[in-house]
Amino acid sequence: MQSKGLLELASAISSGAVRVVDLTFTLSPDFPVIVLPPEFGQAAPVRIQEISRYDGRGPAWYWNNVTFGEHTGTHFDAPIHWFTGKNLPNNAVDTMPAKDMIAPACVIDCSVQAAQDPDFLLTVPIVEAWEARHGRIPQRNWVLLRTDWSKKGWRDYSNLGDDGAHTPGPNPAVMKWLVEERGVIGFGTETIGTDAGQAGHFEPPYPAHHFLHGAGRYGLQCLCNLDQLPATGVVIVASPLKIQNGSGSPLRVIALVSST
């Protein structure tokens, strides 16, 4: 690409010809985190502690100490996060190729189904039907599952029952298929986790994590504003914090959308 094209992109963003959609939740202490049985290690919740606020602790400045687990808020999963990706090269957020942080995306709208069934699962036929309308998913694209889950209150968002969470996600077959047959660069959801709430009972358990990371691909979760994206013609900028040997991180996820 000539540098002219890059500048054209910048001026298109500036003029609004290319819309910038923020797909990120505010990182805050009250945002729900993944619930694991308490005997396991837990994600540290987000904590924001004031260092000073134009006061005796620092008269002219305001700043905070922030702590959080790698998998809190809107966040990125690197291949090293899952055992299936543990031996891959460049599998952590600090070593992953920077060019993987910018890639096109296909948005599959399943909000109607998810509204009817919190345990709704994305399947190969559903994706094939989507392809019939929008064309085949190109290699190295993100697939983003729109469920409008991000619009719910926190309790319904987590939707925890005494048998675990009930939130939508992909079934094992579609994950294997997207990775192997479509070569996706990653899979993104609005829910807590790229997998469905009940995915621990699937075969294999947590298929999104299993297949994505086993193949060196990525996950994005706790996304919002997917309803503002078209099915195709979207470019995602998702660059996690460069944490040494990190398995993921909260991040700002930006979508570029052509207005025309």
Partner 1 sequence: MIEPIKPSRRKNPLLRTRLPASPPRPRSRMSHGFTRAAAEGRFMLQRCEACGAFAYPAREACPSCLSAGLAFVDAPRRGVLLAETTARVPSDVYFRERAPWRIGLIKMDCGPTIVAHLHADCAEGAAVRMSLQLDKSGQAVAFAHPEAETPNMADDRQWREMTADPKFRRALVTNGRSVIGQEAVAALKAAGAKTVFVGIAEPWRPFAGEERLRGQDGIEIVTLDAADEKSATDVAADIGGKVDILVNTTEYVRPGGLLDRRGTSIARDEIDQAYLGFINLAQAFGPAMRTRGADGINSSAAWVNILSVYALANWPAFGAYSASQAACLSLSHCLRAELRPGGVRVMNLFTGPADTEWFQTVPPPKVAPRVIAQAIVSGLRNGLEEMYVGDVAEEIRQRLAANPKALERELDR
Catalytic residue positions?
A: 81
d(CA 55, CA 172): 54
**Distance of closest approach, residue 254 Cβ to partner 1, in angstroms:** 27
Nearer to partner 1, 164 or 233 (CB): 164
User: What is the side-by-side strand order in the sheet with 102-109?
Assistant: 18-22, 253-258, 234-238, 102-109, 142-146, 186-189, 218-221, 75-77, 248-250
Token pair of 257 as six digits:
């959308």
**Per CB under 8 A, which of residues 35..64 are in contact with partner 1?**
35, 41-42, 44-45, 47-50
Q: Is 155 in the site for partner 1 (CB under 8 A)?
A: yes
Residue that the structure tokens 């195709």 belong to: 232
Q: Is 161 in the site for partner 1 (CB under 8 A)?
A: yes
Nearer to partner 1, 45 or 204 (CB): 45
Nearer to partner 1, 10 or 36 (CB): 36
Residue 157: its H or E element: helix 154-158
Alpha carbon of 225 to those of 24, 33, 66, 190, 208: distances in Å? 8, 19, 25, 9, 21
Please identify, among the stretches 2-10, 104-112, 154-162, 166-174, the one whose residues bind partner 1 according to the rule CB under 8 A.
Answer: 154-162
| Binding interface with partner 1 (CB under 8 A) | 29-30, 32, 35, 41-42, 44-45, 47-50, 153-155, 157-158, 160-162
